[in-house]
Structure 1
Amino acid sequence: FLDWALSTFSPAQLKGTLAATSVCFDLSIFELFAPLACGGAVLLADNALALAELPAASEVTLINTVPSAIAELLRLKALPPSARTVNLAGEPLPGTLVRALYATGTVEHVFNLYGPTEDTTYSTFTRVPPGSAEPTIGLPLPETSAYVLSAHLHPQPIGVPGELFLAGAGLARGYLGRADLTAERFIPDPFSPVPGARMYRTGDLVRRRADAQ
């Protein structure tokens, strides 16, 4: 995961990363370890909205939060000019919000990241360019597979909706003390050459575009 983070985000982007997520959530792995792995600083805050009162706000170069929180920071005009990169995850990302971020004139990169806790930490990602319509959830991270399958677990054609299944190195072992739920959500991966490989049933409906996103 950190190899992906350090190949996707430069040391300049990670120089001052806002860490506003509880360590109880896997999102904090990115906020804490990605900047420290490249000599950056971790700027602690109680939550993303506390950025407005953070003494070190002018040192924040990257914000990692949910769309509703960044929308509120925009409304409060509390997004520091130093924050050139904004990572958004955990909620659907409206295209209007992306356009509002770029309209600040200081935000240079907006990333849409997707990943349930069962596949730590992120599963797919994309940089959303200025002027794009509705953002996609992008492509899988290295060592992650994303399948769009029918109710019979057959791959869906391009453009046809199906359920998203995730597999790969980030997959959890299951739910502690819930063998029944683990068996329901983590099922054998028929597409993997690795014996015993499993995939996670997300319950999310998606469709794959011609460009594989």
Structure 2
Amino acid sequence: PSDLAYVIYTSGSTGLPKGVMVEHRNVARLFSATRDWFGFNEQDIWALFHSFAFDFSVWEIWGALLHGGRLLIVPQLVSRSPEDFHDLLCSAGVTVLNQTPSAFRQLIAAQGEKEQAHSLRQVIFGGEALDTAMLKPWYARSVNADTQLVNMYGITETTVHVTYYPLQPEDAQRVGASPIGKRIPDLQLYLLDAYGHPLPPGAVGELYVGGAGVARGYLNRDELNATRFLDDPFASEPGARMYRSGDLGRWLPDGSLEYLG
């Protein structure tokens, strides 16, 4: 379980590539911890839309294989054409789709007023902030009524996903909001001030992530590891660590989180 599963390079906010070392146990628990939310099964058809260099591909590949589903490898030229990709989703009966919000915006435009039926059961967002207002055209189409849209905040350093927020049509009326919901159960999510103190609802602070998804660290970057992969002072188990994300957010009154960039 503690063996290295993969190294994915990410530039993050620094612009300098950093190799993130993720272990097998980090990946395996991602699917067991989210099983009740998604109900993935052997009937699902997943689209491998993303490059192996982007950790969304980890979710796509192992999401299909660990649940006995099918994995449709999207040809690169098709992935660059929203119209062709939409046609492929419909003809292949894809049920689980993972998209950045910017890519999904293009897919909404490609769908347009087409009456072509699709089989999408879940569309999962990640990789960038979601402006929920962009979803208005999607929710306006009756052909999309059976698809659950989900917004998930995640970081490569904490194994793909951290939070879960099932979107509803009324969320599209929220202006400038990027709701990311609540943490995956086997993770800890802290919103801290500059002194490392927890913040109350409404206050803006930096996101720190602890728990079973925290990666081993950066490859051959000991100095950087010392500033980003930290001891978790809030955890009861010895040796627990947390990752300092550099991202800002705030708690909402219902206990969910809003991402602010």
In the alignment, what sits opposite 1:73?
Answer: 107
- After TM superposition, the score normalised by the length of structure 2 is 0.75
Alignment match, 1:212: 255
Superposed CA deviations along residues 88-110 of structure 1, whole A, max 9, x for unmatched, are: 11111111123332223233211
Unmatched tracts of structure 1, length 5 or more: none
Query: Which of 158, 166, 171 is the aligned partner of 1:119?
Result: 158
Moved more, 46-55 or 113-122: 46-55
Displacement after TM superposition at 1:14 (Å)? 6.5
Partner Cα separation in structure 2 for residue 168 and residue 62 of structure 1: 26
Matched to 1:114, the amino acid is: Y
Is the aligned partner of 1:26 residue 2:55?
Answer: yes
Residue of structure 1 in register with 2:126 after alignment = 89
Change (3 A) 1:49 1:73: farther
CA-CA distance at 1:41 after TM superposition: 1.3
- Deviations along 1:40-96, one digit per CA (max 9) or x if unpaired, are 211111454456435752211121010000111111227962224211111111111
Is this contact kept in 2: 1:18–1:63, CA < 8 A?
A: yes
Q: Does 1:40 align with 2:69?
A: yes
Q: Is the 8 A contact 2:207 2:244 kept in 1?
A: yes
* From 21, 38, 44, the counterpart of 1:9: 38
Residue 45 of structure 1 aligns with an amino acid whose one-letter code is V
Paired letter, 1:124: T
Q: Which amino acid aligns with 1:60?
A: V
Partner of 1:194: 237
Aligned equivalents of 2:213, 2:180: Cα separation in 1: 17
The unaligned stretches of length 5 or more in structure 2 are 1-29, 257-261
3-state DSSP of counterpart to 1:159:
coil
Deviates more, 1:91-100 or 1:111-120: 91-100
Greater fraction of residues in helix = 2
> In 2, are the aligned partners of 1:188 and 1:196 still within 8 Å (CA)?
yes
User: What does residue 195 of structure 2 align with?
Assistant: 152
Q: CA deviation at 1:113?
A: 0.7
Distance 1:5 1:153 in 2: 29
The amino acid that maps onto 2:161 is Y
Deviations 1:133-165 (A, max 9, x none): 234111111210100001000000111111000
Q: 1:182 is paired with a residue of what secondary structure?
A: helix
C-alpha contact (below 8 Å) 2:41/2:67 kept by paired residues: no
| Cα pair 1:60 1:80 within 8 Å, conserved | no
> Is the 1:120–1:171 Cα contact (8 Å) retained in structure 2?
yes
Secondary structure in 1 aligned to 2:242?
A: strand
Q: Identify the range of structure 1 (166-175 vs 80-89) with the bigger mean alpha-carbon deviation.
A: 80-89
2:57 corresponds to 1:57? no
Counterpart residue type for residue 143 of structure 2 = T
Distance 2:201 2:54 in 1: 33
- Determine if contact 1:13/1:85 at 8 Å carries over to the other structure: no
**Distance in 2 (alpha carbons) for counterparts of 1:18 and 1:43:** 5
Range that drifts further, 57-66 or 13-22: 13-22
Report how far residue 167 of structure 1 moved.
0.6
Shift of 1:24: 2.6
- 1:151 is paired with a residue whose SS is coil
Q: Output the CA distance in 2 between the equivalents of 1:51 and 1:157.
A: 42
Counterpart for residue 130 of structure 1? 169
Decide which of 224, 228, 237 is 1:181's aligned counterpart: 224
Cα distance between partner residues in 1 of 2:39 and 2:80: 25
SS at match of 1:74: helix
